[in-house]
């Protein structure tokens, strides 16, 4: 049960929304999609769902192309909230569950369990338009998982939720994942992706400019920070080969390096001069990477 995207390109006329995208999402894993608006995330999701066909390349789930024949195994939460405003929450969930191949009674039971889990069982007979945005989002999430899908695609699941609800939703998503579901989700919040995803990719102008496991991505960024604290001036260390830049601070300074062995070289050289009170190799945050990779072109 692997989601396999192979060399997928999607063109709208002359415009390429997605260029030569390849990725593999293993069963039971959580995959994060990052990217600025218009980067091609939604188009990719629509292709995974079978709403759009790729111009080139193939997308398979469990070795088969995704179509309406296996749509009952797939759950989808669109970026824009989509529910019938005038329909009652329970009716709505049952209807959407039925469209995903559930029996009416099963859908009813499942809907109630989920409402219970999100601590909103009293909304079952309310119209969606009467709920707050955050609560609507909960209903939307339930609609995408009510039928126990094995592949779940969540486009911006956390937007519009307060921190308490974000935690509740995160926990629910992790529980669903533990039950064996494969989850692909997009977010603007780097911390959510760092926290939840083993695998991720950053899309920019339709291309996956960064991709891999969180560790690989951070390693692959090619830069690390070495923070040193000492009682003497450290500026002479910037002469060492492999140091890209040096930012002095009151207690010492931060060296940006490209290779890890430079860090050891730095420490050794520094120790020859005197005592070092603090030494740390710091990983770049996803935020740094994203801004570095995507933000530069924006600026």
Partner 1 sequence: MRDFWTIFKQSFLTKAKTKSFVITTLIVVAGIFLMANIATIITKIQDAGVFGGGPEKDTIYVVEENGQLLDPLQQQLNASESGITLKATTKTVDELEQQITDEKIASFLVLELDETETIQATYTSENANAFEQPMKVREALQTVQTNIKANSLELSADEVVQLFSPIQFEQDAVSASSKSEEELSQARGLVYVLIFVIYFAVFYYSNMIATEVATEKSSRVMEIIISSVSPVKHMFAKIAGVGTLGLLQIALFGVAGFIALKTSSSDLTTGVFSFFGFSNVSISTMIFAVLFFLLGYFLYATLAALLGSLVSRTEDVQQLLLPMTFLIIIASFIAFSGLGNPEASYVQIASYFPFFTPLVMFLRVGMLDLPIWEPILGIGILLVSIFILGWFGSRVYRGGVLMYGASQSLKDIKKAMDLGRK
Please give the residue ranges that form the binding site for partner 1 (CB under 8 A): 12-13, 46, 49-53, 68, 71-72, 74, 76, 78, 80-85, 87, 95-96, 98-101, 143-144
Q: How, if at all, do strands 15-25 and 3-12 pair? A: antiparallel
Angle at CA of residue 215, ends 210 and 38, nearest 5°? 25
Shortest reach from residue 74's CB to partner 1, in Å: 7
Shortest reach from residue 196's CB to partner 1, in Å: 23
Shortest reach from residue 31's CB to partner 1, in Å: 18
Shortest reach from residue 133's CB to partner 1, in Å: 14
* Residue with smaller CB distance to partner 1, 83 or 230: 83
Distance CA 284, CA 259 (A): 13
Shortest reach from residue 162's CB to partner 1, in Å: 22
* Residue with smaller CB distance to partner 1, 73 or 211: 73
Distance CA 182, CA 150 (A): 6
Q: How, if at all, do strands 3-12 and 64-65 pair? A: unpaired
Distance CA 2, CA 71 (A): 15
* Residue with smaller CB distance to partner 1, 95 or 221: 95
Shortest reach from residue 293's CB to partner 1, in Å: 28
Q: Where are the alpha helices (DSSP H) in the chain?
A: 41-49, 89-99, 104-117, 133-145, 163-178, 190-196, 214-220, 260-273, 286-290, 296-298
Q: CA torsion angle for 57, 63, 67, 72 (degrees, to 10)?
A: -140
Distance CA 136, CA 121 (A): 13
* Residue with smaller CB distance to partner 1, 68 or 122: 68
* Residue with smaller CB distance to partner 1, 35 or 75: 75
* Residue with smaller CB distance to partner 1, 12 or 232: 12
* Residue with smaller CB distance to partner 1, 136 or 187: 136
Q: Give the tokens for residue 216.
A: 């690989």
Shortest reach from residue 49's CB to partner 1, in Å: 5
40: left (phi over 0), alpha (psi -120 to 50) or beta: left
């Amino acid at each position: 049960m692997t989601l396999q995207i192979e060399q997928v390109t999607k063109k709208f006329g002359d415009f390429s929304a997605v260029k030569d995208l390849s990725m593999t999402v293993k069963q039971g894993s959580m995959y994060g999609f990052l990217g600025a608006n218009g980067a091609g995330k939604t188009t990719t999701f629509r292709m995974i769902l079978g709403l759009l066909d790729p111009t080139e390349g193939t997308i398979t789930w469990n070795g088969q192309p995704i179509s309406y024949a296996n749509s009952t195994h797939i759950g989808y939460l669109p970026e824009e909230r989509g529910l019938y405003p005038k329909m009652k929450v329970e009716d709505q969930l049952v209807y959407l569950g039925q469209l995903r191949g559930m029996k009416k009674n099963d859908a009813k039971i499942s809907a109630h369990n989920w409402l219970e889990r999100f601590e909103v069982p009293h909304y079952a007979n309310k119209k969606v338009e009467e709920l707050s945005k955050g609560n609507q989002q909960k209903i939307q999430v339930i609609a995408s998982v009510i039928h126990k899908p094995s592949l779940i695609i969540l486009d911006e699941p956390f937007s519009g939720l307060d921190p308490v609800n974000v935690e509740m939703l995160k926990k629910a998503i992790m529980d669903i994942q533990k039950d064996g579901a494969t989850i692909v989700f997009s977010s603007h919040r780097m911390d959510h992706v760092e926290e939840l995803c083993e695998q991720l990719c950053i899309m920019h102008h339709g291309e996956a400019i960064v991709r891999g496991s969180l560790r690989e991505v951070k390693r692959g960024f090619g830069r690390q920070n070495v923070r040193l604290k000492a009682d003497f001036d450290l500026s002479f260390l910037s002469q060492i080969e492999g140091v890209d830049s040096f930012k002095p601070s009151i207690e010492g300074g931060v060296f940006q390096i490209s290779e890890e062995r430079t860090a050891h070289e730095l420490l050794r050289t520094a120790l020859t001069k005197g005592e070092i009170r603090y030494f740390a190799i710091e990983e770049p945050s996803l935020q740094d990477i994203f801004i570095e990779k995507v933000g530069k072109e924006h600026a």
